[in-house]
Structure 1
Amino acid sequence: MSDVEAMIQSGLLSIYERRFPSRKEIRIYNIKGMRGGWETELYSFTIEYREATGRRTEDLVLRIYPGDDALQKSVKEFKVMRALHELGFPVPKVLLLELGDNPFGRPFVIMERVEGRSMRDVLLESAGERRRELIMLFCKILADLHFLDWRPFVELVSPDLSLYETRDAYAWIDHKLSEMKRAIDRFHRDEFGPLLDWLEARSMEVPCERPSLIHGDYHPDNIILRKDDVAFVIDWGAADIADYRSDLAWTLLLVGTYWGPEAREAILRGYEQASGHRVTRIEYFEVMAILRRLLDVSVSLSEGAGRRGMRPGAEEKMRRDADHLRRVYALLIARTGIAIPEVERLLSALT
C-alpha cells in the first residue's frame, strides 16, 4: 500500500467511526486512485462492517475537492446529485458530505461505485451500429437533462432566483458575460478583452429560449457504462441553471477538439434528434466555451490550477493536452478571426 493509499484508509476509518458509531468492526480496503480529469481527486474503496442486521460490504468512491471554490462545489454537487437520484435520473447515489475539519483537509463526497467503464473507452473501441447507438444514448441523456423541470434545482445551484424568474430573455446571457468579465478582471487577463467584446456585440442574437438544468462538463469520460449498457452521469460540480446551448456547446468543443469535427457533427445531430428540435446559434456558445477553456488554462499555468477550482497536478495534464488546446485556439480564430498573442506564446511553450 502506498503512502497516499494508507492516508486515505486511515482517514476514511476515522470518519466512519465518528459518523457511524453503530457500525462495528469496520474494515476499509481495495483503495485505488481513479483516472480523473483536471478537477478532482477520486479514489475507489471497499468498506465492510457489522451492524444489527449482520455484516455488510459496500463498494464506494471518495471524491476530494481542491481549489478556491471547493466548499461551494462540493455542496452543490452533493445536493444536485441527491435530487437527481430521487427523480430517477441516472446518477450514482451520494451517501456522505463532509465540509469541515476532516483528515483530508478538504471537502469531500462519498458515493456508490458504479461498476463499468467510461463511455469514452467503449466508444473508442466501437464502430458501425454499436457506435451510433452509444452516441444516441449519450445525446439522449443530455437532452433528457435539459428538459427536466429546472425550478426545483435553482436553490441548489444559485442564490439568485430572480435571474431565472424574469421574463427578460437576455437576463441569462447578460449575467454570464458579466461573470466572465469579472473573471477576466480578477485574474488580470486583459488579453481576453477583445473576445469578450465579440461576445457582447452579438449577445442580442442569443435570447435564452428556456432555462435548463445543465451539467457543465458533459463528455464521454463523465459517463460510466455498465455491462448492461445502463449509463450513469458523474462529475456534477459545474451544474447550473442556464441556456441549454451553453452546456451542449461545451460538449461539442471538447468532442470536436479531442476527437475531430466529424464527432462534433455526430453529437450535434444526435442531440437535435433526441431533443426533437433544431439547435440555433450554437457557434456563439462554442466561442463562450473557448473563452472558458483558454482562461482556465492561462490562469492555471501561471497561478496554479487551484485558482480555477482544479486539483493539484492539473497543470501537467494541461501541458500534455497541448494538441487539444492548439485546436481550441485554431477554432477561436476560425469562429471569430481574433488572435491573442499571449495565448499563442503560452501554447508555443507547451510540450
Structure 2
Amino acid sequence: MYKDIENRLGVKIKNVKVLKSGWAGEIISLEFKDNAQKYVIKTYNSSKNGLENIKLEWTGLNLLYNANYPVPKPIMSNFINEKPYIVMEKIEGENLWDCYQIVSKEDKEQLLEKFTKVFFELHQLDISMVDKELIKNSTISFIEKEINEIKKLLEENKLEYFTQIIDWLQKEKVNIISKKLSIIHRDYHPWNVIVDNNEELYVIDLLWGIGDYRFDLAWTYTLIERSGFENFSKNMFKKYKELKNENINNFEYFKVFSTLRWLINVMISLKTGENLNETRNKEFENFVSPLIQNGIKSIQKITGIQITI
C-alpha cells in the first residue's frame, strides 16, 4: 500500500502514524520527505461490505468536495489492493466534541450553531448532482427501500425480535408527510466533524446516501441522546428547526426508524463478529450494551412495544 502511494504521488514517505484502529478499519497519517502536505489513508477491513463501503465513501467525498461542501480533499484511491484504501488531505485539528468540552459557554453556543448549520447545508444540496432521476423519488419510496433492506437483514441474521417494530413502521407510514429527498450523511455526530486550526468545520466518515432529511436528523439526535448528551441533542434540534424555519413533522416516527436501523447494525456486528477480533468484540460489547438498552427504551417510549433481546 505505502509503495503504491509513493509511486503514484511521486514522493517518499518519511512518517507513518496510526491515528485510529477501529472495528471497521484504520485511519493512518502520512508525512512525506521534502513536502509539507500531510495526508490521511483510510482503510476498510476485508469484510463482505468493506469494498462496497470504501467505494461509497470515495464517491461521496468527491461529490461533496466538488460541490464546495466542507470535506477533506480526495487525493487517490485503490480498490484492487489487498486492503482497499482511499487517501485524502489531512485536516489539522480536533474532533468537534473534544473542542466543545473545553471551550467557554459562549463558544459552545457558536460551535453548536456551526455544527448544526453544516448539517443543514448538507440537506440543502441539489441531489440531481448525484443522479437527475433521484428528484422523482419521495419520502415513501425511501421508507419502503429502507424497510425492505431491514427486513432482509432481519431474515439473514435471525433478528426476529425486531419484527414488531417493522410492523409499527409499516402501519404508521400512512401518516408521514412527504418531503423532497436530500443527500444524507447517515452517521453525522460531533465525533465525525473536525474543527481545524482556523475554527472551520470539516465533515468526515461519510456513509452517505439519498433519503429524507428527518431520518438523518433523527439518527444524529438519537445517537447523541442515548450517549448521555440529551441537552446537546435538544439544542441541535432547536437550531436546525430555526434554520429550516418550519415545523419538522413526524419526527418521532423517524426517531424510531433510525434507532431501529442503528440497533440492527450493532446487533449484526455483535452476532457475526464481522470486523471484530476476539478482544475488540468484547470491548465493543461492553461499550455498546448500555447504548442498546437506551435505544430499546427510546423505541418503547414512542411505540409502547417492548423488545426483548
Q: Shift of residue 169 of structure 1?
A: 4.9
CA distance in 1, matches of 2:23, 2:256: 21
Q: Is the 8 A contact 2:29 2:40 kept in 1?
A: yes
2:87 counterpart residue number: 110
Q: CA deviation at 1:97?
A: 0.8
Take 1:70 and 1:262, find their aligned partners in 2: how far apart are those partners? 35
Query: In the alignment, does 2:163 pair up with 1:213?
Result: no
| CA apart distance, 1:40 | 3.2
Distance in 2, matches of 1:286 and 1:332, equals 8
Match status 1:240 vs 2:209: yes
Determine which of 314, 320, 323 is the counterpart of 2:290.
323
Partner of 2:227: 258
Is 1:275 paired with 2:244? yes
* 1:75–1:200 distance in 2 versus 1, CA, 3 Å: same
* Alignment counterpart, residue 4 of structure 2, candidates 12, 15, 20: 15
Matched, 1:136 2:113: yes
Among candidates 59, 72, 85, match of residue 52 of structure 2: 72
2:155 counterpart residue number: 185
Match of 2:67 in 1: 87
Q: Letter of the aligned partner of 2:38 in structure 1?
A: D
Contact 2:26–2:43 (Cα < 8 Å) also in 1: yes
Question: For structure 1, which segment, 169-178 or 144-153, has the greater mean C-alpha deviation from structure 2 after superposition?
Answer: 169-178
Distance 2:291 2:139 in 1: 34
Structure 2: gaps (5+ residues) = none
Q: Which amino acid in structure 1 is aligned with residue 148 of structure 2?
A: S
Q: Could you list the runs of 4 or more consecutive aligned residues of structure 1 that deviate by over 6 angstroms after TM superposition?
A: none
Counterpart among 59, 62, 79 of residue 38 in structure 2: 59
Pairing 1:27–2:39 present: no
CA offset at residue 168 of structure 1? 5.5
Gaps of 5+ in 1: 1-10, 49-54, 156-160, 343-351
Deviations 1:111-136 (A, max 9, x none): 10000000010112234221111111
Conserved? CA contact 1:143–1:271, under 8 Å: yes
Partner of 2:130, secondary structure, is: helix
Kindly report which structure 2 residues correspond to 1:226-237, keeping only aligned pairs within 5 A, or say none. Answer: 226-236=196-206
Q: What is the CA-CA distance between 1:64 and the residue it aligns to?
A: 0.4
Please give the TM-score of this superposition, normalised by the length of structure 1.
0.81
Residue identity matched to 1:249: A
Inter-partner Cα distance in structure 2 for 1:37 and 1:271:
30
- 1:285-319, CA deviations, whole angstroms, 9 ceiling, x for partnerless residues? 11111111211222211211349xx9x93662342
Tell me, in whole angstroms, the C-alpha distance in 1 between the residues paired with 2:219 and 2:172: 19
Contact conserved, 2:77 with 2:87, CA < 8 A, in 1? yes
Identity of aligned residues (%): 25
Alpha-carbon distance in structure 1 between the residues aligned to 2:21 and 2:304: 34
Give yes or no for the alignment of 1:166 onto 2:136.
Answer: yes
1:99 equivalenced with 2:79 (yes/no): yes
